[in-house]
Structure 1
Amino acid sequence: MSNLQHTDKEINPKCCSMDESSSNIEVQPITNSTNKRGLSDYSQDSSRFSFNWPLYLPIITSGLLLLSGLVFEFYFKASFFINWVKIPWYLLAYLIVGLPVIKEAVKAIGKKQIFTEFFLMSIATIGAIAIGEYPEAVAVMLFYTFGEILQSNALRKAKRSISALLDIRPKIAHVARSNTYVTVSPEEVNIGDMIRVKVGESIPLDGILHSASAQLNTAAITGESNVQHFDRGHNLMAGSINLSNVLEIEVTKSYKDSSISRILDMVQNANSKKAKSELLIRKLAKIYTPIVFYLAVALCLVPMIFLDQYVFSDWLYRALVFLVISCPCALVISIPLGYFGGLGAASRNGILFKGSNYIDQITKINTLVLDKTGTVTTGKFGIKYIDAINGYSDQNIMAYIQSIESQSNHPLAQALLDYSVDHPLPQAQDVEEWSGRGLSGRVNGDEVVVGNENLLSMKGITLPQNLNPLSGTAIYIAIKDEYAGRVILADQVKEDAEAAILGIKNLGISEIYMLSGDKDSITQGIAKELNIPYAQGDLLPEDKLAYVEDLTYQQDRITAFMGDGINDAPVLAACDIGIAMGGMGSDIAIETADVILQNDQPSKLITAIKIARSTQRIIWQNIYLVFAVKILVLILGAIGYASMWEAVFADVGLALVAIANAIRLQKMNWDGTNS
């Protein structure tokens, strides 16, 4: 990535110049108030797309003054529209849009950055005014400013701030005070205080469990796909969700040191380290601006050496015309228009780029790192394998299991109940739940035990010694005190995951890694199934971050990370380009990522890369066209055969061609036929 640092200024009604942030096409991030089920919900927020009158007011005012001045001067030939009226009229129109650009040019010169687009636009248009070409000066500056407003207002810079990150932190804590529990802010809880967490609530602070047991969803923090069981005395992490019963927890860390706060701090620090790539227009301007300036100076002075009848005013006129012709209006407009085409095509395919620079960056990635749970898998359990023995069939043991599990509210029970049994279920009786272990009861008069290995061992039931180890969560069943079989539950691989990995490899991304907080055995199993060569499980958020930072810091490696959870946020911020699942992904992951896949399909990354590559091709086509026409008109202007008006209209024509070319992106078929 480029190590150039960009400023964070934004275009506002008083400043329409082209600064680092305004050239960077950005979109507003999806915050917690957004329904994350898809683009349709997001687009319903009309306030996000309301017309910003103050931003457009300078453009409208200047445009009306220019248009009315041209009508008075050339159509009506009004007698009152003479120099003492005409000059102030056009100067006012010019200053409304030109003054911010001139100010930026002066600031840049003060920083010893002379050859900027601000300088070129200022010199060229001031030169036009000096030789009396007032409408041309206004028109050129108007086009330039409109190009800037066009890109900055449509998708403005979305600053990632701590206030946005704070929205995902736990808001309340029920703390013991004076023999009762009161609801306070987590910041007000001290180490050693006792807090109570109700079912469905997020644990607000790290602490030690004082209740007998707890069933927690820790996926947001660790990435662990299984529901986690904890007994009294275990350490619990803030951000985990309570699934079982009311919990009593002794706080061991203050709010600022809790797991969730630590993750968000890593997001902030990692994001601040990410360098912003330099936009194409900046690179071109560094070359184009000094060349045309020195050519204009040469055009004015060099003829003095070779001509006997050299007239300074005549050649100064040609030099100023040359500068006006050289103004990169069509170039300035054509580049953002290309990006707009790409952004529009992406949004129509359920892909949201948060900035045009990410369209450039995604075409360069050669290394992809994937999260597992919720990214390549659904995050929901399903039956992977059924192993029935002792004369029982799959249907037999599933009927027994479903009879027992139908009386459980455990998250794994639903996956077992989804299995289709071809006969009516017998009624279970005397069902007893063994916390963290499973269930037991009677079905058709037979004693049935359904649960993990610990439960069967407690009941005196021995598992066969020759059981093959399988990745996933094993649910064992014993009927009449004898082992009858097992069911392997596993996080389900998304339907398009295998095709996504193959397609990504076909695009030339040779190195693909999968990192997960889930068990390493489960992670390795999924990686093998999807033919992902490198995989690692049992990783904490800081482990993931360190792993990806090691990859990112390697020379010539552009790394993308795709994830969906809170625990993925630091990595999304630190890598070269972060890609989040927008349908079921966490708010902080969506807030931190650079690209959002709205429908959670990993194969959409292929579409995103194809759209980005096509966008770059079209942008370069526009650039080649603009430069070719510019060079032709510049030559004609240098020898006195082209006027400023011809240059302005040439710019307009080029802009229309650029628009038509960019629209092609919206018409293309992105079902896999484009690359």
Structure 2
Amino acid sequence: MSKKLKLKGLDCANCAYKIENALKKEGFESASVNFATGELTIEGDIEKAKNIVKKVDSGVEVIEKEEHHHDCHDHGEDPKKMLYFIVPSLILFVIGVLLRYYYNYDNIFVFGIFVVGYMLVGWKVLRNAVVNSIHGNVFDENFLMTIATLGAFAIGEYPEAVGVMLFYMVGEFFQNLSINRSRKSIKGLLALKADYANLKIGDKTIKVKPEDVKVGDLILVKPGERVPLDGLVIEGSSTVDSSALTGESIPRVVKEGDELLSGILNLNGLLTVKVAKELKESTISRIFELVENASARKAKTERFITRFSRYYTPIVVGLAVLIATIPPLVFGEPLSNWVYRALVLLVISCPCALMLSIPLVYFGGIGKSAREGILVKGSNFLDALGKARIVAFDKTGTLTKGVFKTVQIVAKNSFNKDEILKFMALAEAHSSHPIANALKEAYGKEINENEIKEHEEIPGYGVRAKINGKEIMVGNDRLLHKFNIEHDTCHVKGTVVHVVVDGEYAGYIIISDEIKKDALETIQELRKLGVKKIVMLTGDSKDVAEEIAKKIGLDEFYAELLPEDKVNIIEKLGAEKENGTVVFVGDGINDAPVIARSDLGVAMGALGSDVAIETADIVIMDDKPSKLPLGIKISKKVQNIVMENIILILIVKLSFVLLGALGQVTIWGAIFADVGVALLAVFNSMRILK
């Protein structure tokens, strides 16, 4: 079983990669460091993992976390504490510069001022550099900054040595502020988690922790309180705000018999709720865990940046060594000049700008999507969403509301309407499909299950049941042909359910379903976003599918499909996708096979559904198809910011490496190339949160 560990003091993205890599080399098959949340997820010996983490980065403190427990106030170390060292160091730096350059003092006292100023901001870097080097972890930013600044002291450039370390720490300060902001934006979801539950015991109500409430217990949810656990309303009615979960801004009314999800805000009435799930299985806990763990599934760009930095830093360090040694040894050039150039390269070479800003963009994109009611289970899926070229929709509950109403009952032979309606309702008694619900609602009477002796589901066709000694079959037209039932109603316009009694055709019922308001808008937006083909896959009749396809402007539709037919069509569409992604959007329950088979499976309107959360790559938390183009827009914005950061960082870094080798850049310029460009990239990354 996986275990979460908190990595307190993890402020280096490159170190996060090194910790993860070291754990895997030491035999941990499952090891993932989430830099954005400062957490390590492993399967294996925790003490062994702690020792490995300490070897990689001695400045990181490993803290065990209780499973499923998240502290919404825990955002790591407070970056403002760094100011206690930065401000005095800055004051001493200014004094030292004034004494040396304005008053022309250059003695042991001035040297001491610079040393004290240096140690205030550099002691932690020096310590980590020594300890990490002993453990064989060379070429991290601590080592690079230590060599560069001590080298500057060695050639008498005290102000530059202190300035490099001081402004490096100022950069770290602003980076940590940005990281904390990103972490808070995700952990802010935990504000949805109630601190207590009002447990009802007899006539009394007591406040308890949500984790102490069991399935089947009764809880009261008062006006102004958040629902602590998933459950069913058994008494009362109220208006609730589910915007934080689903992105739906309009409050809705709940009443007796309605499902209530944890995290929803009760606005006015008093509700009595029967608990359906324990805290760790409740919606808000699962949402947070999905979002928090999403960073473990890295996008291709993130993986490339990780590999790139592995080679980039040693190459630049090797180049610095050559620059410092070859010209003085071969051409007799002044040693101090070329050492200075080498130090400039060392300052520039730190890979943290890339290692920090790119994961931060993806993490922010996942958080942004979650706040819009779109759960993305990994950076790789967020990337794939932006490359959608073919989108296939299920019909019922996805493009249509899935709320069916009986509009016509037609009896055949010697049967009457009441009989066939009763047979249908009894046969569908154990089904939760929207069509079955419509039939039971039309029957309107209490179903006596003692009348049902046998029940068999026939996937893709319908159901067969034994009712009062009669064999009843209820289903689509394919069911009639499968069992060779004589009938004269093959082409009825609309969604049709047929009934057969003891092998004799008894009649049919026509039911209607309404297209969702935003379905047409969704199709139009997808086309604007570059989707080349939009199709619909449905088990419903060809006539119904054709009518809906025309109304909302689909390119193609496939009707009267069995579950395996949908999988086959998705596989065929995959051959047409070119270099993009085939996306399937379904309800996440009866479309699980095709959701799993598509390049990107999206579960629509399936919040709280175990099947949806397990199978889909993306879960849209309400039933609005318009959330799909919104997700694509977020994905494309993430991709744009990532490319902006990569281009900005590489152009600046490589330009300064070249200029540094030619002696055209001072260490102050190198500081901009390192800290400055890192800050620009991080601030650019934060745009995704807006």
TM-score (norm 1): 0.53
Greater shift, 371-380 or 652-661, is seen at 652-661
Letter in 2 for 1:299: I
Cα distance change of structure 1 residues 611 and 405 upon mapping to structure 2, 3 Å threshold:
same
Aligned to 1:600: 623
Aligned to 2:168: 140
Shift of residue 489, structure 1, vs aligned partner: 1.5
Matching of residue 624 in structure 1 with residue 647 in structure 2:
yes
Aligned to 2:8: 13
Aligned to 1:488: 510
Matching of residue 510 in structure 1 with residue 508 in structure 2:
no
Q: How many residues align?
A: 484
Which one of the candidate residues 300, 319, 332 is aligned to 2:324? Answer: 300
* Partners of 1:97 and 1:589 in 2: CA distance: 45
Which one of the candidate residues 301, 305, 322 is aligned to 1:281? Answer: 305
Shift of residue 324, structure 1, vs aligned partner: 0.2
Aligned to 2:123: 92
In structure 1, the residue corresponding to 2:8 is in which secondary structure? coil
Aligned to 2:198: none
Cα distance change of structure 1 residues 329 and 583 upon mapping to structure 2, 3 Å threshold:
same
Structure 1 stretches lacking a partner, 5+ long: 1-6, 29-45, 110-117, 158-199, 202-270, 391-396, 420-426, 439-450, 478-482, 668-675
Aligned to 1:222: none
Shift of residue 601, structure 1, vs aligned partner: 1.6
In structure 1, the residue corresponding to 2:641 is in which secondary structure? helix
* Partners of 2:38 and 2:428 in 1: CA distance: 42
In structure 2, the residue corresponding to 1:379 is in which secondary structure? coil
Aligned to 1:376: 399
Matching of residue 315 in structure 1 with residue 329 in structure 2:
no
Cα distance change of structure 1 residues 608 and 134 upon mapping to structure 2, 3 Å threshold:
same
Say if 2:540 and 2:561, in contact at 8 Å, map to a contact too. Answer: yes
Aligned to 1:359: 382
Cα distance change of structure 1 residues 73 and 137 upon mapping to structure 2, 3 Å threshold:
closer
Aligned to 1:51: 73
Matching of residue 350 in structure 1 with residue 381 in structure 2:
no
Say if 1:514 and 1:527, in contact at 8 Å, map to a contact too. Answer: no
Say if 2:426 and 2:449, in contact at 8 Å, map to a contact too. Answer: no
Which one of the candidate residues 577, 581, 589 is aligned to 2:604? Answer: 581
Structure 2 stretches lacking a partner, 5+ long: 21-31, 40-67, 100-108, 154-160, 188-230, 233-293, 453-462, 466-473, 501-505
Aligned to 2:103: none
Shift of residue 342, structure 1, vs aligned partner: 3.9
Shift of residue 606, structure 1, vs aligned partner: 1.4
Aligned to 1:123: 144
Please give the per-residue CA displacement for 1:583-638, whole angstroms capped at 9, x wherever unaligned: 54613422554433232222221121122213322332333333444455445544
Letter in 1 for 2:123: L
Say if 2:408 and 2:511, in contact at 8 Å, map to a contact too. Answer: no
Letter in 1 for 2:150: I
Please give the per-residue CA displacement for 1:86-142, whole angstroms capped at 9, x wherever unaligned: 6665553215766797689x46x8xxxxxxxx6466335433334332563475378
* Partners of 1:413 and 1:552 in 2: CA distance: 33
Say if 1:367 and 1:511, in contact at 8 Å, map to a contact too. Answer: yes
* Partners of 2:682 and 2:123 in 1: CA distance: 30
In structure 1, the residue corresponding to 2:623 is in which secondary structure? coil
Cα distance change of structure 1 residues 131 and 601 upon mapping to structure 2, 3 Å threshold:
same
Letter in 2 for 1:129: L
* Partners of 1:546 and 1:486 in 2: CA distance: 30
* Partners of 1:606 and 1:649 in 2: CA distance: 39
Alignment of 1:611-650 (within 5 A): 611-634=634-657, 637-640=660-663, 642-649=665-672
Shift of residue 12, structure 1, vs aligned partner: 1.2
RCO (CA 8 Å, sep 6+): is it higher in 1 or 2? Answer: 1
* Partners of 2:144 and 2:525 in 1: CA distance: 50
Say if 1:27 and 1:155, in contact at 8 Å, map to a contact too. Answer: no
Say if 1:10 and 1:22, in contact at 8 Å, map to a contact too. Answer: no
Say if 2:494 and 2:541, in contact at 8 Å, map to a contact too. Answer: no
Shift of residue 282, structure 1, vs aligned partner: 2.8
Shift of residue 515, structure 1, vs aligned partner: 5.4
Shift of residue 352, structure 1, vs aligned partner: 3.5
In structure 2, the residue corresponding to 1:18 is in which secondary structure? helix
Cα distance change of structure 1 residues 519 and 414 upon mapping to structure 2, 3 Å threshold:
closer
Shift of residue 278, structure 1, vs aligned partner: 4.5
Shift of residue 319, structure 1, vs aligned partner: 0.7
Aligned to 1:559: 582
Cα distance change of structure 1 residues 405 and 592 upon mapping to structure 2, 3 Å threshold:
closer
Shift of residue 318, structure 1, vs aligned partner: 1.6
Letter in 1 for 2:519: A
Say if 1:299 and 1:319, in contact at 8 Å, map to a contact too. Answer: yes
Alignment of 1:650-661 (within 5 A): 653-654=676-677, 657-658=680-681, 661=684
Say if 1:563 and 1:580, in contact at 8 Å, map to a contact too. Answer: yes
* Partners of 1:594 and 1:26 in 2: CA distance: 21
In structure 1, the residue corresponding to 2:77 is in which secondary structure? helix
Say if 1:26 and 1:354, in contact at 8 Å, map to a contact too. Answer: no
* Partners of 1:407 and 1:539 in 2: CA distance: 24
Alignment of 1:65-104 (within 5 A): 65-74=85-94, 89-95=120-126
Shift of residue 488, structure 1, vs aligned partner: 1.2
Alignment RMSD (CA, Å): 6.0
